[in-house]
Amino acid sequence: MIEFRNVSKSFWTGTQRKVILDRASFTVRLGQSIGILAPNGSGKTTIINMMAGLEKPDEGQILRSSRVSFPLGFMGGVVNRHTGTENARYIARLYQLEADEVEAFCRWLCDIGEYFDMPVGTYSQGMRARFSFALMLAIEFDIYLIDEGMPSTTDVRFNRRAGQVLRERLERGTVVIVSHQAKTLERYCSQAAVLRDGQLFLFDTLEEAKVLYDYAD
């Protein structure tokens, strides 16, 4: 479970205060995957980062009682001058997992051949997306955090495989996806929310959320 209690977050842009959340309270429960609809620039990444513990609220509390993933695509823990193998084994040790298994899983899912044994700094954007996605799925989390849907790789085979693995994980886990378009949320979420005026409005269905979102748009 992730619980936001009276959380406020804003940024000073130099001329005005950009409010992301204003004393917002909501709960993400295990087994209830949630899709958050919000326009670009409204604070999707900031909310996901707060859920992951990468960013702190200005006020209020964020309570986590589950294993929460780092956001999909987050490369903060990855060292560019180390190889895919070294990074995968390092992350495995951080999470107290079997390094051989994590390495083998990532190698299989990434499917980037000899590049897996080359420094991550040499990877193309698509390879980096595949690598970070594989790392996230190599670890069993209770809640997976996804910013703007699946990685946009041009590799159809990878996308199919990664989508399949994610669906398997979600049979036991929960996902939080933030996106500016409802279509991205349709496949994975059982409930939806709309970020508007510093508040998160939760709905039982995506259809209901879309009504408020279209209106706000």
Alpha helices in the chain (DSSP H): 44-52, 84-94, 99-110, 125-138, 156-172, 182-186, 206-216
SS (HEC) of 49-98: HHHHCCCCCCEEEEEECCCECCCCCCCCCCCCCCEHHHHHHHHHHHCCCC
Minimum CB distance to ligand ATP smaller for 51 or for 92: 51
Minimum CB distance to ligand ATP smaller for 180 or for 210: 180
Among 46, 87, 174, 184, binds ligand ATP (CB under 6 A): 46
Q: How far is the CB of 103 from ligand ATP (least distance, A)?
A: 31
The amino acid at residue 213 is Y
Evaluated on CA atoms 124, 130, 133, 134, the torsion sign reads negative
Determine, following the binding rule CB under 6 A, whether residue 11 of this chain makes contact with ligand ATP. Answer: yes
Among 21, 24, 42, 102, binds ligand ATP (CB under 6 A): 42
Binding segment toward ligand ATP, per CB under 6 A, in 13-21, 59-67, 78-86, 98-106: 13-21
The amino acid at residue 94 is L
Q: How far is the CB of 207 from ligand ATP (least distance, A)?
A: 22
3-state secondary structure of 33: coil
Binding segment toward ligand ATP, per CB under 6 A, in 34-42, 76-84, 107-115, 203-211: 34-42
Residues near ligand ATP, by CB under 6 A: 11, 13, 18, 20, 38, 40-46, 180
